[in-house]
Structures are given as C-alpha cells and as structure tokens.
Structure 1
Amino acid sequence: MALLEVDRLTIDIPTEAGLLHAVGGVSFTLERGETLAIVGESGSGKSLTSLALMDLLPSRAIRKAATLRFDGIDLMAAGERQKEDLRGDRMAMIFQEPMTSLNPAYTIGDQLTEALRRHRTVSAKAARERAVHLLERVGITAAASRLGQYPHQLSGGLRQRVMIAMGLMCEPDLIIADEPTTALDVTIQAQILRLLRDLQQEFGMALILVTHDLGVVARVATKVAVMYAGRLVETGTVREVFGAPSHPYTRGLLRSIPVPGRTRPGEPLGTIPGQVPGLVGDVFGCAFRNRCDHAAEACAGAIPERLLGGNHRMACILETVGSPQ
C-alpha cells in the first residue's frame, strides 16, 4: 500500500467574480522513501495542492477528492483531532518563507520543542536535547546557544535550516517542502537540497518537493509531476520525463533552462509566450492551448490522459513532437 494516495483532488475558491477552480483533478501516489517533485510556474496550484494534503487551505477553499489517504487513513473523513495528531507528527511541512512561518515572539527553542511535546510524552529537557541534536544535524553551529535566539537574529539560510529541524522533530513519515530554497542564494540552495536528500535517506521519509526549478528536480527527485493551471499535464519518473519530455508545456519549461555543454554563453533561452488563463467560471479543454504551438480544435474538448510507457503519463492529444531543444 502506498504511503500517500491522491485521486482526483480538486480545490475551488469562491470569489466575487465566480468560483475559482484552483486545482482540478490531481492524482498521484507516493511510496515510502520516494521524492515527488511538483513543478510548474507561479500560480499553477502547486502550493495549494501541498496545503490541501495537510488540510491547511484558506477557510473559504472547498477541498474534494475521490481518494485522499495517508498510510490507510482517510484524510477526507478524518476528524479535526485526528488531523491535528497527524500534522507535525507523521506529516510535516517546510514552508516557503521561514521569516513569516516562524513566530517572531517566541525563541527558536520554544518553537522547536512545541511539536515534540505536543505529540510525545517527553520532558522539557529531553525535548531541548532533541532540538540541539537536530540543529547540529542540519548544520547549525553552537546549536545549544541558538535555542535562546529569536528568528530575526538568524540569517535566511539558518532560518530555513531551523524549519527543516522543526519538521524532523517527530521523525515524520512524510515531509512536504514548499519551495524551500526560493529565498536563498545559490550556494545556500545547494546546501539545503543536499541536506534534505541526506536526511531523507537517513530517516527513510517520503518527500514532496514543490518547486519551479527543474534543475532542482533533476538533482533530488525520484518522480516528477508537471502542473499547469491547476492540472497535472505530465507525470513519471525523472528519467522518463527528462529523457523524453512529451507535453508541449514540459518541453517549453526545459527549453527555458541552460544545458551545460550545449547552451552557449549569451545565447537566448527559450520562452513560453502568452499568459496562464483565468480559472474562474467554466473551465474546459486544455488550459495550455492558448500558448501552444501545436494547438488544434480538438484541444477545446476533453483531454485524455495517455500512458506513454512505464509510469510516464501525459494529458494531451498529441503524440511526441520532437526534441525539446
């Protein structure tokens, strides 16, 4: 049995202009120890999908799913107490911006130990020892002295490492990392990604990595789900999707990143013209058709999901359309 099963997850948000169909029919599974990267440009629904798994959506959002199951637990039917028992314990989340996710009024030590003492019967001393151990494990020096500091006293890289340590306090089965390196410089990004990969192997966790950076996906992920306008357009293993990108949107994303040894200095990168369509009101057909060079009349109708081989799937009427470069 898969650790996480998601089948036809939808998220609708009422607005003054009508119902916003933010996420429509997202399905995937995740096994223990796997890393799933959900990729796509800003506004594609990646973060909302991750928040839906933790039931941390805005109060007005309407979440529905044919199946939303974590280790056999039906998350759609679970009561609030059961979900609170899972969050921070067996399911943890690393949020996108640690400066706004960490409480400025509490010390690092208080925030680290809170979840452990909520979910485990441990003394304050044992909780602080665990916090020091994990701060050291994520590469923070003088860890014991950091417990008395406040978030504003730490750099962006250190705050992100604190968020990772916080997620690990109860040794969760699943960690969801929502763009954990967006606010960091390139050197710190590489360190954080290497750290996440090493910790995942050490603790045997499943990891969902939300990102718009395909270079990150290539380095750390096992599987990839490409998301556009709230829908998954291509899924598969990293080898399948990167080795034979098939959806025009995936190919456009790959054309927009430099390839070592192939992209010459100063050479312009590929772009995807146009804008993401509005998702308020009736949504039909392929949402990418207004930006796609291969759009046809049939793209305005129902778009089937096709199995391309192995675990590689694509929601498009086209056959493979040649090299992405």
Structure 2
Amino acid sequence: MSEIALELRRLTVDIPTDAGMLHAVRGVSLTARRGETLCVVGESGCGKSLTTLAVMGLLPEGAKRGAERMELAGENLLKASPSRLRALRGDRMAMIFQDPMTCLNPSLTIGDQMTETFLHHGKGRRRAALDRAVALLERVGIAGAAGRIGQYPHQLSGGLRQRVVIAMALMCEPDVLLADEPTTALDATVQLGILQLLAALQREMHMALVLVTHDLGIVARIADRVAVMYAGEVVEEGAVRAVFDTPRHPYTRGLMQCIPQPGITAPGTRLGTIPGLVPYLVGEVAGCAFRGRCPHAMPACALPVPVREDAAHAWRCLL
C-alpha cells in the first residue's frame, strides 16, 4: 500500500456569524496516499474548499479549526506553529486556487512569482530557481518558457495563467498538491488539457493529488478515489469505480441522476433533480443533514447516523 501523504480525522471548521456559530465542516475524515488522486465532490457551499484551506492553515479570520488528527506524511499539523506552517506551505504541501485570473500578483513578473517560494524555502540560489521555473513552464506545456518568465500575468491567457499556477505549486516538489476547482474559469477544451496535465504530473512526481470539484465527469476521468460531501460532512467515500457503479447514499445517487450518461441517456430525456434546499448549518445540526430532501427519510434519520462500509467504500446512511 502507498505511503499516506495526508490524513484527516474528524476535521471541523466553525465560523462565528451574527446568527450564531456556522458549522461549515463537520467531522470530515479523508486519507490521501502518494501516487493517488482523491477527488472531493459536492455542490457549492458543502465545505470542500474550507477543508483544503484548513489543511493549509489559510482559513478566514475568526474561523476555528479542530480535528482528532491532521497529519502531513506523519507530521502533526495541529501542533504546528504558524512559522512551521509557513515552512510547510509551498514546500511539502501546495495549493492551486480556484481562479487563475486573480491568484497571480499583477505587479510581479511570472518569474518573480515562481521563484519566490523556491528561494524562501532555501532550495537554491536565484539562477537555480529561474532554471527550475523555465523547466516547469516547459513541462506544463508553455512554449517559449524562457521568454515568459519576464512577462506579467495580464500578458497571458487564462489557460496559460492556470498552467503557470500549476508550475508554481510544483516548484518545491510537494508531497501533497491540493487543487481547488482548478478548471472552473476555463473553457471545455482547455479544461481537458489541464486535467490531463495534472494527472500526468501526479504520476510523474508520485505525489498525492487532492482535487476539489463539483463535476462528476472530472471525477470519472482522473480519480482513483472519491469523497462525496454534503452539508459539511463526507456522506460517501471509496474507490471511484465502486462509488459510480453502486452509489450507496441517496445524495450520491441524486447527483448521478442529474448528469447525462453517454450512450445511455437518450436525447431529450429529462434529467433528475434533487428537490429542496441545503440545510441551515448555524446552531446544532442533528441526524442526517440530507433527510429533508431524501425520498427515503424516516424518523430514525433525525438521530446520529453511523458510517457503514463494505470492501469497496463507506457511506453515512441507515439504508
């Protein structure tokens, strides 16, 4: 079995609001191994991005993080000081943020932004940093890389900027790469190229890739394992083929019914929907958060729901 690169056990993120405490992430447990792609999927607002930000120690001001365990390749992140987290970020763990249009500094050249992390972590001198930046830009498919490092972000297209952000995250060869919906702002053709690139780099560098998305097509294309989140918690998790072939949780089945399947869904067929609204997560949240939208809900769903599992995956449901 591959080495565990990232392990979370019962991670919580609470955010104080005027209405009370918002329980945005509720007991999330995930494991990502080196050489593996784990996709975290769910609708907007389910806590996917906050989970990755909690790992990086980049939560918004006032947010409170808690967990039974949070380890990066065996190192306890819960006990890491702010200076230690700064030493880990960009070195052993790195993140690709959602929008390539806004996550690059418009006043700095591509070369300055790419070499900053390399120099900060003492990986070498500026010449070595520039050489590595050029090599990585070439590796992510940017032609004329030596000339690009002197350019500013506004001189690059959205697709090229996304490739720069990926290359920047890989400057120090991290153990874990967290990618938060890295293709959302790109057109479909560019999306495919970026996904293929991420999959190739993950295999080549034997790192753990944790990819946050709401697109099940992306999950089917590149994931080894998938975790389905709803209302701040993981409701189903396992090998991607097992989850797609035999989804156990009603929410997972609802998501699957919302997308057309090539060769199966006939043109003009009405796609499925999930009725109702996401529950309010301020204050106490008891029982299954999906029960208000679930066609199989029963009185017992208002009580704590245990995690059930088989050989291929686990799910949080009484059924």
Q: Offset at 1:123? A: 1.9
Partner of 1:241: 243
Q: SS of the counterpart of 1:224? A: strand
* Partner Cα separation in structure 2 for residue 30 and residue 165 of structure 1: 21
Instruction: Trace 1:1-325 onto structure 2 (pairs within 5 A).
Output: 2-307=4-309, 309-318=310-319
Q: SS of the counterpart of 1:96? A: coil
* Partner Cα separation in structure 2 for residue 184 and residue 266 of structure 1: 27
* Partner Cα separation in structure 2 for residue 68 and residue 121 of structure 1: 26
TM-score by structure 2 length?
0.98
Question: Considering only aligned residues, what root-mean-square deviation do their CA atoms show, in Å?
Answer: 0.9
* Partner Cα separation in structure 1 for residue 229 and residue 304 of structure 2: 17
Q: Deviations over 1:244-272 (max 9, x none)?
A: 10100000100111101011122221111
Q: Offset at 1:311? A: 3.9
Q: Deviations over 1:105-138 (max 9, x none)?
A: 1111100000011112422111111101100100
For this pair of structures, how many residues does the alignment match? 317
Q: SS of the counterpart of 2:227? A: strand
* Partner Cα separation in structure 2 for residue 224 and residue 85 of structure 1: 29
Q: SS of the counterpart of 2:292? A: helix
* Partner Cα separation in structure 2 for residue 299 and residue 288 of structure 1: 9
* Partner Cα separation in structure 2 for residue 193 and residue 275 of structure 1: 31
TM-score by structure 1 length?
0.96
Q: SS of the counterpart of 2:101? A: helix
Q: Deviations over 1:136-177 (max 9, x none)?
A: 100011111111111111111111000000011011111000
* Partner Cα separation in structure 2 for residue 32 and residue 65 of structure 1: 22
* Partner Cα separation in structure 2 for residue 123 and residue 28 of structure 1: 37
Q: Deviations over 1:264-311 (max 9, x none)?
A: 12222111111101100111111111111111111111111101x114
* Partner Cα separation in structure 2 for residue 285 and residue 29 of structure 1: 24
Q: Offset at 1:79? A: 0.9
Q: SS of the counterpart of 2:130? A: helix
Amino acid at match of 1:111: Q
Q: Offset at 1:72? A: 1.3
* Partner Cα separation in structure 2 for residue 124 and residue 232 of structure 1: 43
Partner of 1:322: none
Q: SS of the counterpart of 1:52? A: helix
Instruction: Provide closer, same or farther for how the CA distance between residues 194 and 83 of structure 1 changes in structure 2, counting only shifts above 3 A.
Output: same
Q: Offset at 1:16? A: 0.3
Instruction: Provide closer, same or farther for how the CA distance between residues 87 and 257 of structure 1 changes in structure 2, counting only shifts above 3 A.
Output: same
Q: Offset at 1:4? A: 1.3
> Quick check: 2:228–2:237 contact (8 Å CA) kept in 1?
yes
> Quick check: 2:123–2:172 contact (8 Å CA) kept in 1?
no
> Quick check: 2:307–2:317 contact (8 Å CA) kept in 1?
yes
Poorly superposed stretches of 4+, deviation over 2 Å? none
* Partner Cα separation in structure 2 for residue 49 and residue 206 of structure 1: 16
Q: SS of the counterpart of 1:100? A: coil
* Partner Cα separation in structure 1 for residue 297 and residue 158 of structure 2: 43
